[in-house]
Amino acid sequence: MVLGGIFGGSSTTTPQYLTGDKTAIDAFIDQFDTFLFDCDGADRRRRIGVLWSGDHKFPGTAETIDMLRSRGKQLVFVTNNSTKSRADYKKKFDGMGISAEEEEVFGSSYSAAIYIARILALPPPKNKVYVLGESGVEQELQSENISYCGGTDPLLRREMMPIDFESVASGELLDDDVGIVLTGLDFHPSYLKIALGMAYLRRGAKFLATNTDSTLPSAGSLFPGAGAISAPLVAASGQTPLALGKPSQAMMDAIEGKFKFDRKRACMVGDRLNTDIQFGIEGDLGGTLCVLTGVSKKEEFLVKDAKVVPSAYVDTLSDLLGESKAKAEAST
């Protein structure tokens, strides 16, 4: 079977608009055995994401997932949201009536934990992780039996005191077993946390990031993303972290290693060009599908010389059901 042309993963092809064309939709779905779904959506006031917006799933989402399963497709739910663990996402799926198993979720925190435990595999005891992030990172590190410090430690949620400068410089406040600095989205950043991270990097610790998204869509606007948390350490240390979320191919390699799929028979489904769609293109997947309920708009990839172009696009994920919009809306 040929996967080139409009269904290929190349960013130089012309994307096909699938909404309302059941024949084209069926042909597109039949091209693939595996679908990777972005599930980053977090906005509560406007349509952001592929599967949901805040605490509300888009109409027809559950039915679309069930349809793909009924056609024998392998599903993987991929997210750059490092603040939530796979277990957290499973609870969210259950609450929205979307069929998904915890083992089908692959987040940037889990990607980092897998990389640290199974690929980096630093010899103990110098393999402890200093975390700039939330509980989602900690939960996934625990799942791989990785020791860590920092993170949600309440003792670090304070101002930097004059004595702290001396204690950091002397090493008194440092853990000698730390060999890795891991940054993610941290809702409680502080100068003290950054100073400790810099000190560990100066000692030779490996520099990793769950992801480096520049922004976080929320409340109808954009806020600093995980990349804004690692940025101070990048500026202070002169180092760039290895990112383990989309579009990093370290994440794609980890996903392929776990789920054992043929990349040419896989499709990345997402709403953001510079993470989701680029992730699929750089991963040499057979196809990419952009859903227009999120950050990126069709005008961005339909213009001449667009940098990132999906194989195909739809208005909403439920358009894959092949039903008319009037029928779909009447059933919700």
Q: Is 315 annotated as a binding residue?
A: no
Helices 191-202 and 226-237: angle between axes, nearest 10 degrees: 50
Does position 331 have pLDDT exceeding 60, yes or no? no
Per-residue confidence (pLDDT) for residue 56, from 0 to 100: 61
The more confident residue out of 145 and 52 is 145
- Dihedral angle sign, alpha carbons of residues 213, 215, 217, 223: positive
Per-residue confidence (pLDDT) for residue 134, from 0 to 100: 96
Cα 227 to Cα 24, 103, 208, 265, 323: the distances in Å are 38, 27, 11, 31, 39
| CATH class for the region spanning 16-80+247-330 | alpha beta
Find the catalytic residue in 21, 30, 33, 38.
Answer: 38
Domain limits of the chain?
16-80+247-330, 122-243
Per-residue confidence (pLDDT) for residue 328, from 0 to 100: 41
pTM for the whole structure = 0.82
16-80+247-330 and 122-243: identical CATH topology: yes
Per-residue confidence (pLDDT) for residue 9, from 0 to 100: 46
Q: Is 126 annotated as a binding residue?
A: no
Mark whether 253 is an active-site residue: no
Q: What is the bridge-based pairing of β-strands 56-57 and 52-53?
A: antiparallel
Find the catalytic residue in 26, 30, 40, 253.
Answer: 40
Mark whether 40 is an active-site residue: yes
Structure confidence by residue, pLDDT tens digits, 192-233: 999 999 999 999 999 999 999 888 877 778 899 999 999 999
The per-residue pLDDT of the chain, averaged, comes to 88
Are 43 and 296 within 8 A, CB to CB? no
Per-residue confidence (pLDDT) for residue 6, from 0 to 100: 38
Q: How many CB atoms lie within 10 A of CB 13?
A: 18
Q: How many CB atoms lie within 10 A of CB 329?
A: 12
Distance between terminal CA atoms of the chain?
Answer: 37
Q: Is 319 annotated as a binding residue?
A: no
Structure confidence by residue, pLDDT tens digits, 22-56: 999 999 999 999 999 998 764 433 344 667 555 56
Average pLDDT on 126-132 reads: 97
Q: Is 40 annotated as a binding residue?
A: yes
Per-residue confidence (pLDDT) for residue 41, from 0 to 100: 60
Place of tokens 């998204």: 213
Average pLDDT on 151-155 reads: 96
- Supply the DSSP string of 272-324, one letter for each residue: -IIIIIHHHHHTT-SEEEEETTSS--HHHHHSTT-S---SEEESSGGGGG---
Q: What percent of the chain has pLDDT over 70?
A: 88
CA-nearest of 150, 144, 148, 156 to 125 is 148
Q: Which fold has domain 122-243?
A: Rossmann fold (3.40.50)
